[in-house]
């Protein structure tokens, strides 16, 4: 008899299940990828390069980006361009979007992969809680600034790299910047990922009929450097303990490639995937009334 897990735990089984892969080509497709110099974003970049895509890397570190760009070009002979932006600064997000709109007449795929985790409460220069800004506000703004170009390029796909970490929640629209509550890293991270999921459903509704889809995915329990900005003890535990229980991030690249390229995903929108398996998120991330509230709050905070 097969054990039936409750909805809250089904992600455990999904993460261990056989995953889908795509053999579809991405030749001639223009793909914008944020956070493309490490972890999940880098694996997506490599897989899309193998598929023949024209790549636009959006990242903070120019030197690192140029090194990776050369490696990608040498190995897969595909166009790779670089746009520099720090997603903790919304003015840089706006500048990056404006540059892309100016230089690229079409965008076939937008992958928002930049993200961070902080064990301490940090506020950006604009007064936003740092993790909420990098993980939610910046990709929210970036996506909306590029949305008209995506519509003009339709069919097009938007992929928000989310996380099972949304299950930690922590989202409180009355204290979005954690000025009244005790901050913890898990709940701060959970708040950012919950907000992102809630706005995915809203955006999917707004895009209905446009032939532009938007989906979110958990990229698997994989080894990445997210959290390397934290103290030495956190970094030591991450690399010497946590990593022993995690998988190679190449599976993340394969999953993102499937969502970005496979014909089976054509027209699929407003869904959350655990790698390539359609999954039900936590109940609090499905609250559409809260989603509308967070959408309006995000619009106000980003000045859209």
Asked if residue 19 belongs to a domain, the reply is no
Q: What whole-number distance in Å separates Cα of residue 171 and Cα of residue 193?
A: 9
Cβ-based neighbour number of residue 58 at 10 Å: 30
Q: Which pLDDT does position 189 carry in this prediction? A: 96
Q: What pLDDT score does 242 carry?
A: 40
- Whether 106 is in a domain gets the answer yes
Note whether residue 282 is domain-resident: yes
The one catalytic residue in 104, 183, 189, 258 is 189
Cβ-contact 32, 58 below 8 angstroms? yes
Phi first, then psi: give them for residue 84, nearest 5 degrees.
Answer: -95, 130
Task: Tell me the pLDDT band of 235, cut-offs 50, 70 and 90.
Answer: very low
The reported pLDDT for the residue numbered 241 is: 40
Residue 123 DSSP code: B
Residue 42 belongs to a domain? yes
Residue 11 resides in a domain = no
Query: Has 257 been annotated as catalytic?
Result: no
Let me know how many helices (H) and strands (E) the chain has, helices first.
Answer: 10, 8
Residues 268/293/217/303 CA torsion (nearest 10 deg): 100
Residue 57 forms part of a structural domain: yes
For 173-208, what is each residue's pLDDT tens digit?
A: 999 999 999 999 999 999 999 999 999 999 999 999
CATH of the domain at 293: 3.40.50.720
The residue assigned the tokens 């972890």 is 39
Give the domain range for residue 298.
26-302
**Average pLDDT rounded to a whole number, residues 288-304:** 97
Has residue 50 been placed in a domain? yes
pLDDT for 239: 41
DSSP per position, 239-301 = HHTGGGG-B-THHHHHHHHHHHH-GGGTT--S-EEETTEE----GGGG-HHHHHHHHHHHHHH
pLDDT digits (tens, 9 = 90+) for 9-68: 566 566 666 789 999 999 999 999 999 998 999 999 999 999 999 999 999 999 999 999
- Domain count of the chain? 1
139 lies in a domain? yes
């Amino acid at each position: 008899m097969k054990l039936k897990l409750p909805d809250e735990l089904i992600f455990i089984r999904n993460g261990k299940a056989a995953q889908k892969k795509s053999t579809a080509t991405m030749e001639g497709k223009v793909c914008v990828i944020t956070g493309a110099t490490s972890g999940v974003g880098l694996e997506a970049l490599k897989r899309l390069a193998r598929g023949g895509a024209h790549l636009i890397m959006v990242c903070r570190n120019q030197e690192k980006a140029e090194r990776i760009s050369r490696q990608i070009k040498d190995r897969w002979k595909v166009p790779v361009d670089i746009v520099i932006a720090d997603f903790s600064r919304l003015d840089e997000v706006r500048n990056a979007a404006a540059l892309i709109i100016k230089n690229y007449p079409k965008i076939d795929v937008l992958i928002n992969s930049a993200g961070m985790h902080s064990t301490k409460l940090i506020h950006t220069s604009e007064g936003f809680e740092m993790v909420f800004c990098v993980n939610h506000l910046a990709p929210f703004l970036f996506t909306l600034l590029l949305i008209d170009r995506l519509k003009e390029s339709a069919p097009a796909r938007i992929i928000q790299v989310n996380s099972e970490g949304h299950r930690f929640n922590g989202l409180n629209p009355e204290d979005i910047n954690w000025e009244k509550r005790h901050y913890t890293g898990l709940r701060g991270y959970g708040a950012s990922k919950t907000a992102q999921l809630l706005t995915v459903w809203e955006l999917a509704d707004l895009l209905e009929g446009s032939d532009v889809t938007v989906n979110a995915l958990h990229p698997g329990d994989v080894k990445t450097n997210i959290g390397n900005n934290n103290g030495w003890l956190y970094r030591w535990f991450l690399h010497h303990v946590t990593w022993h229980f995690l998988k190679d991030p190449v599976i993340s690249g394969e999953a993102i490639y499937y969502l970005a390229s496979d014909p089976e995903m054509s027209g699929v929108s407003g869904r959350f995937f655990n790698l390539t398996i359609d999954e039900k998120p936590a109940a609090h991330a499905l609250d559409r009334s809260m989603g509308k509230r967070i959408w309006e709050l995000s619009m106000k905070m980003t000045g859209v």
